[in-house]
Amino acid sequence: MSSPFNLLTTGARFDRSRFSNDFDLFTVSFRYCAVANWQKKKAKKDKGKGKAKDVLPSSLNFFGDSKAAPEESDSGSESDASSSSSSSAASIPEPPKQKITLTGPEPLPASLGTDLESLFEKDDTLKKPMLRNLASANIRSLWGVQCAVAGSLLDGQDTMCVAPTGSGKTLAYLLPLLVALKTPSRKMDDKDQGVRSLIVVPTHDLAVQIHQVLSAILPPKWRALVLSKATQKAVCESAPGPKFGKTESEDDDEEEEEREGNLGIDFLIATPERLHHLLDEGLVSLAK
């Protein structure tokens, strides 16, 4: 079945000689558009190339009938290396600018420098493994609040820090605390073991977050535990209270048996309610 257009145009012919002027107008405009599009595509393709496409490398210019590309000099490679090193150095984020206000009795403790090495003494054996772990965790420098808090804690001062979320408070006390402990409990005598540092936080989720940060920066043989139902027995064995392991038939004067696996705890992270329950029941001791 023929379409309406075919039915209406049956027998019609285009008289080119009669409409030659109109035909030339359409032909010229079409050619102009085609040339313009071709020029745009060519300009876009050759953009930035300049005359480099006509230059052959010297190793390929066998017949000498083309301009050879200049060979790269050592200075160029050195400049590239320097630029790459500068770009890699620039990729390390700088510490954010923080306004720090210190108050307290005079003289106020001096803040540390932003360099991580300012945390350690010259011959500190903890320095190398700590710097290696911090670099692996992408921690390159100390922030302002960390410099102030670490300087105060390492000076032996009681410190209270008020800072917004994301300002670096967690590392502000974890790093100087780790430096002050110096040696893991596994390398110490049994009499010096127990809970060596206590971190009390309001929620269990926050305790888990702090434990993850500690796990990323702690050197080998250091022990950090989150006090929970699963770890309660291990905490009690490492820092036993006066009633831990006692039965009703045992006398109070009877000496406790030595337990295997008493490794001590370098960092105990706990919530107040669970810790208070263990202390109140005499299952855990913080005497050490």
Query: Rounded to two decimals, what is the model's pTM?
Result: 0.61
Distance separating alpha carbons of residues 100 and 113, to the nearest angstrom:
13
pLDDT (mean) for 162-181: 91
With tokens 């558009």, the residue in question is: 33
Do residue 136 and residue 226 come from a single domain? no
Overall average pLDDT of the 66-86 stretch: 50
Q: What is the mean pLDDT of the chain?
A: 76
15: tokens are 């008289």
Q: How many domains does the chain have?
A: 2
Q: Pick the closest to residue 109 from 56, 67, 147, 60 (CA basis).
A: 147
On whether residue 224 sits in a domain, the answer given is: yes
Contact between 35 and 22 under an 8 Å Cβ cutoff? The reply is no
Q: Where are the beta strands (DSSP E) in the chain?
A: 198-200, 224-226, 267-270
pLDDT, average across residues 55-80: 54
* Residue 143 and residue 95 in contact, taking contact as beta carbons nearer than 8 Å: yes
Q: Which two tokens stand for residue 39?
A: 């020029």
Q: Which of 166, 182, 198 is the last residue of a domain?
A: 182
Structural domain includes residue 194: yes
CATH number at residue 229: 3.40.50.300
Q: Tell the burial category of 25 from Cβ atoms under 10 Å away from its Cβ (0-12, 13-18, 19+).
A: exposed
Percent of the chain with pLDDT over 90: 30
Farthest-apart Cα atoms in the chain, separation: 128
pLDDT tier, 278 (very low <50, low <70, confident <90, very high otherwise) = very high
Task: Assess whether 211 and 144 both reside in one domain.
Answer: no
Residues 162 and 218 grouped into a single domain:
no
* Residue 88 one-letter amino acid: S
pLDDT at residue 26 tops 90: no
Residue with tokens 């009795």: 105
189 in any annotated domain: yes
Mean per-residue pLDDT, 165-182:
91
Q: Residue 16 domain-assigned? A: no
Predicted local distance difference test score (pLDDT) of residue 104:
87
Q: Are residues 175 and 206 in the same domain?
A: no
CA–CA distance, 111 with 145 (Å, rounded to integer): 9
**Are 149 and 214 members of one domain?**
no
Q: Tell me, what DSSP letter sits at residue 265? A: B
Last residue of a domain, which of 182, 215, 232?
182
Q: Tell me which amino acid residue 273 is.
A: E
If one compares 73 and 228, the residue with the highest pLDDT of the two is 228
| Least confident residue range of 1-5, 120-124, 266-270 | 1-5
- For residue 43, being part of any structural domain is answered with no
Check if the beta carbon of residue 216 is closer than 8 Å to that of residue 261. Answer: no
21: confidence class by pLDDT, cuts 50, 70, 90: confident
Using CA of residue 159, residue 164, residue 169, residue 170, what is the dihedral sign? positive
Residue that finishes a domain, picked among 182, 201, 224:
182
Q: Is residue 145 part of a domain?
A: yes
Question: Is residue 69's pLDDT more than 50?
Answer: yes
- Burial of 206 per CB tally in 10 Å (0-12, 13-18, 19+): middle
User: Sorting pLDDT into bands at 50, 70 and 90, what band is 146?
Assistant: very high
Give domain status of residue 82, yes or no.
no
Q: Which domain holds residue 165?
A: 96-182
In whole angstroms, what is the distance from residue 161 CA to residue 279 CA? 27
Is 212 part of any domain? yes
